[in-house]
Every structure is written in structure tokens, then in C-alpha cells.
Amino acid sequence: MRRNEREYIHVRIGEIKFGKAGAILQATLGSCLGIAIIDKVKRTCGLAHCFLPQGEESSPEHQPGKYVVDAIPYLLDRLHLNERAETDFDIYLAGGGNMMAQLKQRNVDHIGKLNKAKALEVLKERNLPIRKIMDGEELASKIIIDCDSLEIKMIRINEKLEKKI
């Protein structure tokens, strides 16, 4: 890769991808939860695109990015952050929107809310702080991580509102 070239890495549903200088990680989210971890010291990034809070471990199609409960430890392990100071890295949550407005009217928890709740639970169990939560609310969104600048932004797709987080 030449110096000015950027590698765009799209993280699809159930996937976890990693990037370093020159890479841009991105995912389009609805009710799915984007879990981003940025290692500020080694300047590497990881992004999981989770669509369920948890599942059966024996599931033959199991992949670490599918479930929130599996994605967080996997990201921490692959980025070698388990024994490092929490000041070395930042954790972000994005998306988890309610894509079925009728559930809100019936006061039923939607999958996006359950995904966020599970992520908060797993991070609390590990005593890990979250740098920022960018809620998808009732809109689809896109998370973009620039692994050069270590900046993250989320764009709410239906609203054309861009927020740097």
C-alpha cells in the first residue's frame, strides 16, 4: 500500500475486523451493535458487528462477532489488551437502534436495546469503562473508524446527521 492509499474494511454482520495505520474500519448498523476498541499506544483498532446479545456456545455456526458476549473478550484478546492499563485503550458502542417502532409503542425491549444492555453488563463485569455510546435510536447508522487519526464517527443514515465521537 502506498503512503496516501487507504484500505477501507467493511465489517459485515457477525464479523470482527482489525486495522492499523492506513485502514478505515466501517459498518452499517440497524439493531446490531458496533463495538469498537482503539489501542491508543499501538495505534490499532478493532470493530465487531454483533447482532445478538448471546447464544448457545455449541452453535455450529458460532463466530465471535455474532454475539456481544463473545465479541468483547475476543477483541480484547486479539488486541492484546487483557493485561494492559485501561488508559491504553478506548471502548465505544454504536448503533443498537430500534428498527421496529411498533415495539416501542408496546413497551417491548427490542434487540438493539438488549445488545447494548449485554455489552454494558460484560464491560461492567470486567471493570472496563466505555469512552462513548452513540445510540442509533430509531435510525440505521454507520460507524467509521480512522485507524490513522484514531477518530470515530457515527452517521445516522436516515437523518444525515454526522457526529464525531
- 14-73 per-position pLDDT tens digit: 999 999 999 999 999 989 999 999 999 999 999 999 999 998 764 545 688 999 999 999
Domain edges within the chain:
7-164
| pLDDT classification of 8: cutoffs 50, 70, 90 | very high
What ranges in the chain are assigned the alpha helix state H?
Answer: 68-78, 101-105, 111-125
pTM reported for the whole predicted model: 0.87
Is pLDDT above 60 for 3? no
User: 128-159: b or e for each residue (b if 16 or more CB lie within 10 Å)?
Assistant: eeeeebbbbebbbbbbbbbbeeeebbbbbbee
Q: Give the total residue count for the chain.
A: 165
Question: Domain 7-164, what architecture?
Answer: 2-Layer Sandwich (3.30)
